[in-house]
Amino acid sequence: MNRSIVSTPPKPATSDSIAQALSLAIHEHKIAPGTKLGEDELAEIYGVSRTVVRAALQTLSHIKLVDIRRNKGASVASPSLNEAREVFEARELLEPRTARSAAARATVSDIALLERHISDEHAALDAADPGRALYLSGLFHNEIARIADQATIAGFIETLVAQSSLIIALYWRRESALCEKHAHHALVRALADHDETQAEALMRSHLVDLHSALDLRERKARAPSLKEALSR
């Protein structure tokens, strides 16, 4: 099996390393929402027991990347339309204020790290890898929450960003929004200038734009099997 689709944890694999590898594959849209995550199949892929796989899936379920249902097993979460709206509305409430706080605290090293994230994101776009770019974009938002030094809110934002990856996989309609490179650059400039008002306004505008790029209409599509997703 070609395992280049997901990162393979160093052996021996642990529940944490498997959770990290699956999380990355989900964020990068290599495993689609709704894909069944069979314990036997994952145990074979990673060369571990079902107990180790089960612990990894439980970890991902806590951050709402995986749904675990009695007698049905685990699958990649597939947020509903209402959940999609709620996630982005929550981000629009939390992240602008977080950006304001980050602008007051950002150091030179913080700005350098954010600029590296943007550079990596653009490299992924240039390489025609929008899934990777999306993952890096999420890290950019998580870093701003870290800079704001608000641990509780940062935890909420990290979960919301993770759910956003699933929502974008399901409801994205305007790919160009992912390629609007100026949004993150402008945010970094505001943070570097310690312009709290501008940072807050730019983050709000950016999130509203992402929200508007979603097609929040019901539609159904067959999710590929786990083997199909990991064997491409």
Q: Is 64 left (phi over 0), alpha (psi -120 to 50) or beta?
A: left
User: In this predicted structure, what is the pLDDT of residue 218?
Assistant: 64
Q: Are 207 and 92 in contact (CB under 8 A)?
A: yes
- Domains in the chain, start-ordered, CATH in brackets? 1-77 (1.10.10.10), 81-212 (1.20.120.530)
The b/e string for 10-24 (b: 16+ C-beta within 10 A; e otherwise) is eeebbbebbbbbbbb
Maximum CA pair distance of the chain? 54
Question: Do 37 and 25 contact (CB within 8 A), yes or no?
Answer: no
- The pLDDT, as a whole number, for residue 6 is 55
Euclidean distance between CA atoms 118 and 141, whole angstroms:
11
- Report how far residue 83's alpha carbon sits from residue 88's, in angstroms, rounded to the nearest whole number: 9
| Run means of pLDDT, 10 residues per run, the chain, 232 residues | 50 88 90 92 92 95 91 91 94 96 97 94 88 89 96 93 89 62 90 98 93 76 64 59
* CB of 156 closer than 8 Å to CB of 172: no
Question: 74: how many CB neighbours lie within 10 A of its CB?
Answer: 22
Alpha-carbon span 22 to 41, nearest angstrom: 13
